[in-house]
Amino acid sequence: MHLGESMRDCEYSQISTRSSTPMETPYKKRTPKKKKWESFPGRNKFYCDGRIMMAKQTGVFYLTLILILVTCGLFFTFECRNTLRWGGVFSEELYKLNSAFLLLLCRCSFFIICFYFTSCPFLAQQLTPIIPVLGGALFLFVLGTLLRTSFSDPGVLPRATPDEAADLERQIDVANGTTGYRPPPRTKEVVINGQTVKLKYCFTCKIFRPPRASHCSLCDNCVERFDHHCPWVGNCVGRRNYRFFYMFILSLSFLTIFIFAFVITHIILMGLSGFHTYLISSNQTTNEDIKGSWSSKRGKDNYNPYSSGNIFTNCCVALCGPLPPSLIDRRGFIEADAPQMAPPTNGITMYGATQSQQSHMCDQDQCIQSTKFVLQAAATPLLQQQRSEPVIITSSPENGTSLPALASLTLGGPCTSLPIGQPTPPTSTPSLSCHEAADMLMMHGHTLNHTHPLQEQAALHHYLTPEEVPSPPGMLHCGSPLGHSHTVQASFYNPASQDSLHEDSVRGLVKLSSV
Amino acid sequence: MQHTASLVTKVFIQRDYSEGTVCRFQTKFPTELDNRIERALLEQTVKTLNSYYVEAEKVGGQSYLEGCLACATAYIVFLCMETRYEKVLKKISGYIQEQNEKIYAPRGLLLTDPIERGMRLEISVFEDRGSSGSSPSSSMSSCGTAR
């Protein structure tokens, strides 16, 4: 049937009233057929024979592309190096596109990706090779969704053909009940799921826009389910490309977080603060870490015995633990008796064995008692003799080591550098209170305040022959364990034993000093 | 006898948005076709078309699967596979052709696939003239009179 033939013609080509006249048919092929995109009424740009559709202004889109490529390129170069071979899936996609411009752009990105992927990642070596793989996949996804959003038709509604526009006008005229020319009404109301929605008439496209459609002034098109015109992707975002747009921005956020996480991790890991944070949390010193003292590489059972096992506890201990005092007494005055410096070390080694034995026996009460005794002794003729004696005693620096040794002996290990009989300035050293006592004795009965247990002095006091020195009550028992020390002390006593006066005075001073 | 047909007018069946943005045509009978076709036939055609579009735009298991697969393969899968919507569109195209051949062409009408008209159903009304007499072609009919 003739009508059937013309029908078929009408179906597959734009239906035109021209086709109804047989005269025109032979001359159809005279002019080359133009594609619809070539005469598209909207303000769009088409590439690749109409396969790619973008908005007119695309500068910002290229900026977006460059930003993504450069950021990821830098990331893959410096953060992520690996000997991955890049599949080349995109290259096949790319070669299908005819547009010279886009091909150049994509080839650039292809080569950039290849180049950066073929260097070696420090992170991949340090952590796991999955990082560049994941980053790469994410990057490709971002790029893919961006291109899809930018190049696809957002859901443009074709403008009404003149016939349709006429039909619409006719319908409206019929509805209005007028025959004269009147511009079509701007709205038409529709009830959707119980809600009244106004459908607007678009004067540019000459149609009543479907619900949720809007006319984009930049692209000069009505777009279905119009979201917005995005300059960053260089296209409208509508019904057909909204999901790609959403996936683009979502994957871009993930990629940004991914890159930032690794950049920050890199900075922290490489930074000194990060390194020391690690040391603190594992309760190690830099020295131990460098040597690998507690490294498991040394031995299977090798572990850090100082660590509490809990990172939080380690941190708390390191940062909030008690701060020990300084042991070097930087602001203390230096003593004039230099030789006295040597014996104290001997004294410590000698008395070390017995100090522990006697420490528990000597306490503050005994010190006070011995002080009282000394004060009492001060009133005796012994002291009167002693007044002359100090000369002997104080000549210790000249005599040599014996008397000073004795003095130091009496004063004990910690009591150093202060001879008996010399006025001593108050010091922080607790052991020097015995010097103070001696001083007081010399000063004839100044009251003495003892606040320290003075265990060492008491111990030393016991070393000196208690049977020679009249011991105050309560101190007798302290004198028992003095076996081996006698011999040591005997040598120190040699000069004093020569003179009984010396001996007595020394005894008294010894008692005093031991307090 | 040679029949020539000249286009009288084009009738457009508008979209019915009462159920949202889904593609659906009004079943309201246009007055221009009063004498040309039975109401029931046109109504049946429109209802069938509506059902096809509902099937195409149905959000269900298959569409989800298709969407997820496409997303996972970065839409490369569409190079070798056509979407459900496209399959249904092919069915619609076949149906319209069949309807035209069976029902509309004998009555001097022509249905145009909505996909070619921005999802608006166009019915071309031809005036059936007999013999070889040239008939004025009303190609750009502005206000066609209803017969």
**Closest residue on chain B to A157 (Cα):** B118
Q: Indicate if the pLDDT at residue A119 is higher than 50.
A: no
- Which of B10, B17, B116 is opposite residue A210, by nearest beta carbon? B17
Identify whether B136 is part of a domain: no
Gap between the Cα atoms of A127 and A183, Å rounded: 70
Cα A362 from Cα A71, distance rounded (Å): 76
Cβ–Cβ gap B141/A163 under 8 Å? yes
ipTM higher than threshold 0.85 = no
Average pLDDT, chain A: 67
Q: How confident is the model at residue A347 (pLDDT cuts 50, 70, 90)?
A: very low
In a domain, residue B52? The reply is yes
DSSP bridge pairs for A46: A53
Token pair of A131 as six digits: 């990082």
Residues A136-184: tens digit of each pLDDT: 889 988 998 899 899 999 999 999 988 888 888 877 777 666 555 656 5
In a domain, B20, yes or no: yes
Instruction: Give just the sign of the alpha carbon dihedral B86, B91, B95, B98.
Output: positive
Q: Which residues pair with B6 in a beta bridge?
A: B127
| Distance (Å, whole) CA A6 – CA B4 | 10
B interface mutation test: which of A15, A91, A145 has the most B CBs within 10 A? A15
Q: Tens digit of pLDDT for each residue in B58-90? A: 888 888 888 888 888 877 788 888 888 889 999
Pick A211's closest partner by Cβ from B6, B17, B144. Answer: B17
Chains A, B: CB pairs < 8 Å: 111
**CB-CB contact of A286 with A292 (8 Å):** no
Range with lowest mean pLDDT among A128-132, A369-373, B22-26: A369-373
The terminus-to-terminus CA distance of chain B in angstroms comes to 24
Q: Is the pLDDT of residue A446 over 80?
A: no
Q: Do B2 and A93 lie within an 8 Å CB cutoff? A: no
* pLDDT score for A499: 63
Q: What is the pLDDT of residue B63?
A: 86
Model confidence at B52, in pLDDT bands (50, 70, 90)? very high
Structural domains counted in chain B: 1
Strands (E) in B95-146, as ranges, are 109-112, 121-129
> Which domain does B14 fall in, by range?
7-128
* pLDDT at res. B8: 84
pLDDT category of residue A219 using cuts at 50, 70 and 90: very high
Cβ B12–A14 below 8 Å, yes or no? Answer: no
Q: Quick check: B143 pLDDT over 70?
A: no
Residue B137 belongs to some domain of the structure:
no
Q: Is the pLDDT of residue A448 over 90?
A: no
Pair B139, A20: CB distance under 8 Å: yes
Pairing outcome for strands B109-112 and A44-47: unpaired
* Cross-chain CB nearest to B3 (options A2, A140, A144): A2
3-state secondary structure labels for all residues of A109-124: HHHHHHHHHCCCCHHH
pLDDT by residue (tens digit) across A23-74?
Answer: 444 555 566 788 888 888 889 988 888 888 999 988 999 999 998 898 888 8
| Amino acid at the residue B127 | E
pLDDT tens for residues A244-290? 999 999 999 999 998 888 888 777 767 877 888 889 999 999 998 88
A1 and chain B in contact, CB less than 8 A: yes
pLDDT exceeds 70 at position A442: no
In angstroms, the CA B44 to CA A468 distance is: 137
The answer to whether residue B134 sits within a structural domain is no
Query: Is B142 inside any structural domain?
Result: no
User: Could you tell me how far CA A366 lies from the centroid of its own chain?
Assistant: 57
- Interchain pair A18, B143: CB under 8 A: no
Query: pTM of this prediction?
Result: 0.53
Is-contact A421 A390, C-beta < 8 A?
yes
Residue B67 lies in a domain: yes
Contact status of A15 with chain B (Cβ, < 8 Å): yes
